[in-house]
Amino acid sequence: MSDIASIPVDGPASAGLAAELAQEAGALSGLSTPALVVDGATLEANIRRMAGFGADAGVSLRPHAKTHKCAQIARRQLAAGAVGIATATVAEAEALAAEGIGDLLVTTPFMGTAVFARAVALARRGVRLSLTVDHGGQLEALTGALSPSDPVIDVLVDCDVGQRRTGVTSVGAAVGLARTIAAERRLSFAGLQGFAGQAQHLADPDERSAEATDAGRILKAISDALAGEGLAPGVITGSGTGTFAQDAAGPYSELQVGSYVFMDADYAQIVDTTGAPPPFAPSLFVLSTVVSVNRPGEVTIDAGTKSLAFNGPPPSVIVGVPAGSAYRFAGDEHGILNVPDGAPPPELGARVLVGATHCDPTVNLFSQLHVLSESGLEAWPVLARH
Amino acid sequence: MSDIASIPVDGPASAGLAAELAQEAGALSGLSTPALVVDGATLEANIRRMAGFGADAGVSLRPHAKTHKCAQIARRQLAAGAVGIATATVAEAEALAAEGIGDLLVTTPFMGTAVFARAVALARRGVRLSLTVDHGGQLEALTGALSPSDPVIDVLVDCDVGQRRTGVTSVGAAVGLARTIAAERRLSFAGLQGFAGQAQHLADPDERSAEATDAGRILKAISDALAGEGLAPGVITGSGTGTFAQDAAGPYSELQVGSYVFMDADYAQIVDTTGAPPPFAPSLFVLSTVVSVNRPGEVTIDAGTKSLAFNGPPPSVIVGVPAGSAYRFAGDEHGILNVPDGAPPPELGARVLVGATHCDPTVNLFSQLHVLSESGLEAWPVLARH
């Protein structure tokens, strides 16, 4: 395993944002609130750091775009050495393909005549497309969508490695599907996928490691059985920000890390056996305005459950308020900031940055990421929201 | 109070949708999943029923567009007799104004030079715009955005009636703000707003009634004080789907009901003192596809937390599955349907409709409402998502 702890962490998270926020005529002052703001330097550092880890560990990265839904970030991940991009849906793949991303894996099995036709249309346009299946019915739908002149589609077998959500549930089923794929000349059996979602967020490092070990063992058993059939998987893809350091040791050849770019608070709380959190810093914030100041000790801001996903820990990193201030949700469009006793609350109209704690669904609430870096403020579209 | 229970409820909710879902070549089969689907007949019945209640009770309706963010629904509410539309944000008001909605109240106080400029721009374009304020700082920002030739803007004083989110917290503060508004020739003091958010979802009818009574008493006291100053409020606006029947008796002249159009499951569970739920039926569903069927007794569908808001009860109305099936969330893009022992689970590729339980944030996850009615399937845009 690469010694990721030896790669230096760039300065304190959000220092650049805090400085910008303090300037009344700064770049952030021109944004309507609520707005999704990314600390560009921290984003770049997170991307660089994970890329360095993958290179040192000799494992490929296929970063998951479900986190960011953003072509500009996907391009930076590819430029840093990623072999391709993972997407959760065909719609995400379509949106990224339209932005020129050329190697895409859809990580969830899907079903339906129309959606397979859309996937095949991407391959016809020259995208190197990989799909995942966990049932023969999906292969029938896929081959039904292909015409003789279509390019060969790479297909992976999705394996249930303990999450109990999608995937084949036995070695025999995996081998059977792989054989079916290999026997179809318009398809290529590309390998295995297994996502141990049940392991990623476990706080206890030993429990997390044990779950990841079990998941890897399932994939290894399926891989060995396939090798015995002359169908050794070319790729074994999976993993996430919670278990990537362990998973790099095998059996994975490709890591689908996603959250590390923004670093969910929940992931920042999980530590390894040495007590160290993952070496990434939070980069995603919601810019908000203080809109009501009539109650002692607290103010109301214009960021609520339509701006901040609430299936994570409560937001705790808040820039622009006295230390010790706490955020709580107060409806779709509002949150309340409690200020510690004696500290001056922010004034009416003041702006604060609330750190997102569950980044994937927070990004999904906005049409744009406003990325602040040395080159200024850029708006990057969020693609393929439902 | 009008006897709303005497208005007949239209047929069983979602019968039309269920029939449509059963047809393989039906209108719903052409939709990519997940998709937001509205039972048009139930939507119309809900709108008609609330309009009838308002007319009988002699109270105006100003339905809240934060629920639907949809011009087509706002127009139907206006056609049924509503005096105008309420919005949560200036962005919602801008989007509805662009669709020709001419009388708009922004129900949350806001702050900032740019956002007041945007509000004033709406008034300049001929919208009859009403704003709410709870602080003199907002009035300064508003008058700062007005030029001498601008139309007069209606301003209401937002009163904290127990929710502790926005609003003035004393009679004196309300009177002071009303005086300031009335003294400014480019503004018109239009009345009071108070939203008893803390009452709306209380399951116990007596507790809910007591909270609503307390909220009404606060507004009445402020109104009386203003009348004593020669500033009797022209409008007292507030309320919601949880307390509208009681609030119609006063002091409100205008009800900002929103959720009744789709009827959140949570609201369907609150009953009045006779044990009757509010007389509206669920009309909002997420169409989803079965994408994985490898585990006994359960299947995975492609609707998760990026399709269904989860800050309500778990979805319980599910069309297209055996009776007694239960949904649970399984990540951003997936849910799992448990089927009762012995019942046949839906097949791979089958489609199911999952009833949304918290409608406002569910609508906010989609760019379109697909409305199925006798005239066919129509796509209505969801406006002003962040």
**Span B50-54, average pLDDT:** 97
Q: How confident is the model at residue B7 (pLDDT cuts 50, 70, 90)?
A: very low
Query: What digits encode the pLDDT tens for the residues A347-360?
Result: 999 999 999 988 99
Point out the residue among B292, B302, B386 whose CB comes nearest to the CB of A34.
B386
| Chain A residue numbers touching B310 (CB-CB < 8 A) | 311
Query: What digits encode the pLDDT tens for the residues A141-159?
Result: 999 999 999 999 999 999 9
Are the C-beta atoms of A123 and A131 separated by less than 8 Å?
A: no
Say what percent of chain A tops pLDDT 90: 84
Looking at the complex, report in whole angstroms how far the Cα of residue A15 sits from the nearest Cα belonging to chain B. Answer: 24
Inter-chain residue contact B111 with A290, CB threshold 8 Å: yes
B12, pLDDT greater than 90: no
ipTM exceeding the 0.85 mark: yes
pLDDT at position A27 is 86
- B160-181 core/surface letters (b: 16 or more CB in 10 A; e: else): bbbbbbbbbbebebbbebbebb
Inter-chain residue contact A165 with B292, CB threshold 8 Å: yes
**Span A361-369, average pLDDT:** 97
CATH homologous superfamily, domain A41-269: Alanine racemase (3.20.20.10)
Of the two residues A253 and A269, the one the predictor is more confident about is A253
Give the C-alpha separation, A214 to B29, whole Å. Answer: 40
**Span A168-172, average pLDDT:** 98
Average pLDDT score, chain B: 93
Say what percent of chain B tops pLDDT 90: 84
A12, pLDDT greater than 70: no
pLDDT at position A316 is 83
Q: How confident is the model at residue B166 (pLDDT cuts 50, 70, 90)?
A: very high
Inter-chain residue contact B112 with A332, CB threshold 8 Å: no
Query: What digits encode the pLDDT tens for the residues A99-128?
Result: 999 999 999 999 999 999 999 999 999 999
Q: How confident is the model at residue B291 (pLDDT cuts 50, 70, 90)?
A: very high
Q: How confident is the model at residue B10 (pLDDT cuts 50, 70, 90)?
A: very low
Point out the residue among B66, B112, B367 whose CB comes nearest to the CB of A385.
B367
Query: What digits encode the pLDDT tens for the residues A54-102?
Result: 999 999 999 999 999 999 999 999 999 999 999 999 999 999 999 999 9
Query: What digits encode the pLDDT tens for the residues B219-243?
Result: 999 999 999 999 999 999 999 999 9
Q: How confident is the model at residue B275 (pLDDT cuts 50, 70, 90)?
A: confident
Looking at the complex, report in whole angstroms how far the Cα of residue B336 sits from the nearest Cα belonging to chain A. Answer: 7
Average pLDDT score, chain A: 93
**Span B200-206, average pLDDT:** 91
Query: What digits encode the pLDDT tens for the residues A297-317?
Result: 999 999 999 999 988 788 888
Inter-chain residue contact B173 with A294, CB threshold 8 Å: yes
Inter-chain residue contact A110 with B289, CB threshold 8 Å: yes
Inter-chain residue contact B111 with A349, CB threshold 8 Å: yes
Beta strands A318-319 and A85-87, pairing class: unpaired
| Chain A residue numbers touching B367 (CB-CB < 8 A) | 385-386
**Span B87-91, average pLDDT:** 98
A8, pLDDT greater than 80: no
**Span B34-38, average pLDDT:** 97
pLDDT at position A10 is 40
| Chain A residue numbers touching B111 (CB-CB < 8 A) | 289-291, 348-349
**Span A131-139, average pLDDT:** 98
Inter-chain residue contact A348 with B302, CB threshold 8 Å: no
pLDDT at position A4 is 44
B41, pLDDT greater than 70: yes
Looking at the complex, report in whole angstroms how far the Cα of residue A339 sits from the nearest Cα belonging to chain B. Answer: 15
Inter-chain residue contact B110 with A66, CB threshold 8 Å: no
pLDDT at position B9 is 40
| Chain B residue numbers touching A307 (CB-CB < 8 A) | 386
Query: What digits encode the pLDDT tens for the residues B123-161?
Result: 999 999 999 999 999 999 999 999 999 999 999 999 999
Where along chain B do its domains lie? 41-264
Give the C-alpha separation, A40 to A261, whole Å. Answer: 10
pLDDT at position A11 is 40
**Span A243-269, average pLDDT:** 92
**Span B207-229, average pLDDT:** 97
Fold classification of B41-264 is TIM Barrel (3.20.20)
Fold classification of A284-381 is Lyase, Ornithine Decarboxylase; Chain A, domain 1 (2.40.37)
The pair phi, psi for residue A359, each rounded to 5°, is: -75, -45
B34, pLDDT greater than 70: yes
| Chain B residue numbers touching A242 (CB-CB < 8 A) | none
pLDDT at position A14 is 65
Are the C-beta atoms of A53 and A248 separated by less than 8 Å?
A: yes
**Span B169-193, average pLDDT:** 98
pLDDT at position A6 is 41
Helix, strand or coil for residue B93? helix
Inter-chain residue contact B361 with A167, CB threshold 8 Å: no
